[in-house]
Amino acid sequence: MDKKIKNKNIVVTGGKGFLGSYILEELNKNDCKNVFVPGEEDYDLTQIDAVKKMYKDADPDIVIHLAAKVGGIGANREKPGEFFYDNAIMGLQLIEEARKRGIEKFVILGTICCYPKFTPVPFLEKDIWNGYPEETNAPYGLAKKMLLVQSESYRAQYGFNSIFLMPVNLYGPRDNFDPNISHVIPALIKKCFDAIESKEDEIVVWGTGEPTREFLYAEDAARGIIMATKSYNKSDPVNLGAGFEISIRELVSLIVKLTGFKGKVKWDKTKPDGQPRRRLDTARAYKEFGFKAQFSFEEGLKKTIEWYKKFTRR
């Protein structure tokens, strides 16, 4: 299987980001030497001329499209128009130009936010169209969902080989800990260490703590994406997850324990909870390309916290 991609020219959009760093490591493990990472400073992928220039410069056989405008509930609520437009236009243009160039394979990173707000648990790929996404991140989720439509319709009309993967919430070392745009795990880790450092006896957490989430360690996610890149060739969407569920209240308790914060947790119930429950059915990924998460959640959290302490709390 490795021979199928190791001699290919591969573009990784978003390769300088959090997940991208793990994808590059995974490609290196697979002996891939011809990997091109378009930097945002040189290629604004929301602009069609930049997309065309990037393809001309890189001449790829395979595209792994990770680049996205992402953030937590607060960022999604503040800039819904940007989250919709930037994510939609990047994907639409990249896929269309890839089709025109006859690129061999296009790997699309979708999102768990594609699913309806009240999807039955565990989430099955067939339920993706059975309702509207959770309101706080619907523009982002719908923008990504349109790329699934594009993938399926381009395969039907043009025979274009694209795949659509839906990873659950990712976490791990090198995550984004900026409180303005970070997701729940890095936000909570930073909040706890900030409180310890400033000797505060309380942290405030959004919502009620009742919703549940599933988390996938970034190294596992990268391994799954490259496994799919090598051997999955259908447009049917595929969940990538670890197959477990933890409430936000339990998550906060675990992070408080692992960071050593001794104070109280105050729940700000005026703030939104987001989607009520999230847990994926991961059977399709295992059946189609043998993917199964390897890292336990607590092990992954410990590694993430250790990295944060070592590289950011100096």
Q: d(Cα 191, Cα 266) in Å, to the nearest integer?
A: 12
CA angle (267 as vertex; 204, 263 as ends), nearest 5: 55
CA angle (154 as vertex; 150, 156 as ends), nearest 5: 120
In CATH terms, is domain 3-172+214-243+277-295 a member of 1.10.132.20? no
Q: What is the structure's pLDDT at 178? A: 87
Q: What is the structure's pLDDT at 284? A: 98
Altogether, the residues listed in the chain come to a count of 314
Residue in this structure with the two tokens 């619907």, named with its chain if needed = 138
Q: What is the structure's pLDDT at 3? A: 56
Bridge partners of 12, per DSSP, are 64
Q: What is the structure's pLDDT at 69? A: 87
Q: What is the structure's pLDDT at 313? A: 72
Q: d(Cα 301, Cα 237) in Å, to the nearest integer?
A: 28
Report the candidate in 35, 54, 56, 33 with the shortest Cα–Cα distance to residue 45: 54
Splitting the chain (314 residues) into consecutive groups of 10 residues, what average pLDDT does each group show? 80 97 97 96 97 98 94 82 96 98 98 93 97 92 97 98 96 91 90 96 95 96 98 97 96 97 96 89 98 96 96 77
Domain boundaries, the chain: 3-172+214-243+277-295
CA angle (144 as vertex; 241, 15 as ends), nearest 5: 70
Question: Which residue in 22, 55, 115, 140 is the catalytic one?
Answer: 140
How would DSSP label each residue in 225-249?
HHHHHHH----S-EEE-----EEHH
Question: Residue 1: exposed, middle, or buried by beta-carbon count in 10 A (0-12, 13-18, 19+)?
Answer: exposed
C-alpha dist (Å) from residue 36 to 61, 103, 135, 202, 253: 11, 15, 36, 46, 41
Q: d(Cα 186, Cα 142) in Å, to the nearest integer?
A: 25
Quote the pTM value: 0.94
Q: What is the structure's pLDDT at 54? A: 98
C-alpha dist (Å) from residue 102 to 49, 165, 175, 246, 313: 18, 21, 34, 43, 47
Q: What is the structure's pLDDT at 179? A: 81
Q: Is 158 a catalytic residue?
A: no
Task: At 153, list the tokens.
Answer: 């319709």
